[in-house]
Amino acid sequence: MRGPGDRHRRGDGRALQETHPRIFETIRQPLRILRVSVVKPVAWALTTIAALAGIIVHGALPGAGAAAASRLTVAAAASLSLALDEIAASYEEETGVKVVVSYGSTGMLARQIIHGAPFDVFFAAHESYIEDLKEKGLVMEGTETTYAEGRLAMAVNRSAGAAVSTLADLASARVRRIALANPSHAPYGRAARQALESAGVWETVREKVVYGENVRQVLRFVRTGDVPVGIVALSVARAEGVDTYPVDPSLHEPVRQAAAVLRRAADGAEAGRFLRYAAGPAGRAVFTRYGLAAPAGAR
């Protein structure tokens, strides 16, 4: 319900707008939040401007440093979804900084970053993608870190009756379809194809291969029974109703996984702290539990 004082405040606002239009535009938005008592025109204006100045000085407006420091946006390979979720939760608990992770195939995420996606940190499934972004000037100098070496595993639907435990078994007529992550943009898909070639079965099985967007989608195909067997990252191979068989790492090139702080990071210092945490002892312990080995000579 409005009273006479409301009429008075509206009149003061119009007067200020006519005499000080720029100031009025500057303080219009904060006035929607601040509720002031009936005051004289000059006192009303000075109080509101002072409040706005205090907000700006303390960095509470959207996009200011303090707000940016409380939240990080991370792009990460789908193979990290289990491990990195755990690491991000631990970091948030210790620091109060919210870490929001978007997962996908490394190649697709790299393209998004090239086209301006506002991520702070990028965890790639292969170091070549970090090197490419560095050449394009999109990586903060000196932040590149090789954090793990990945492993492949066959994921087999337990109820499919495929009787598969080795790559050679995939050549059997009982196995009608095999799922891989798309080699064109998924490092684990490329490694899976290399392993099948090295095992001497690629030419036999290539016609029954179907592709998923990333390793998580491949695992979903297997878990739902759409495909009896898939080759995925060992780090995501844990699923109800799925048996896992590690693939000999000598059958493919090493999947050396790297990360970096991106040049567009809203808070490069905080992004760097999170990356060091993930690549350091606390994060490495989690990666190891999910089948990601610490690479030799990791920086």
Q: Which residues pair with 258 in a beta bridge?
A: 146
Q: What are phi and psi of 243, to 5 degrees?
A: -95, 145
Distance CA 212, CA 30 (A): 49
| End-to-end C-alpha distance for the chain, whole angstroms | 66
Q: What is the pLDDT of residue 239?
A: 86
| Residue 225, pLDDT score | 93
Q: What's this model's pTM, rounded to 2 decimal places? A: 0.75
Split the chain (299 residues) into runs of 10 and give each run's mean pLDDT: 42 42 42 36 38 34 45 97 98 98 97 98 98 98 96 94 90 95 97 98 97 97 96 93 95 97 97 98 96 77
The pLDDT value recorded for residue 120 is 98
Give pLDDT, residue 228.
96
Tokens of 275: 């990356």
pLDDT at 114: 98
Give me the pLDDT at residue 298, please: 53
- Tell me how far the alpha carbon of residue 147 is from its chain's centroid: 15
Complete domains list, the chain, with CATH: 4-57 (no CATH), 65-149+255-289 (3.40.190.10), 152-246 (3.40.190.10)
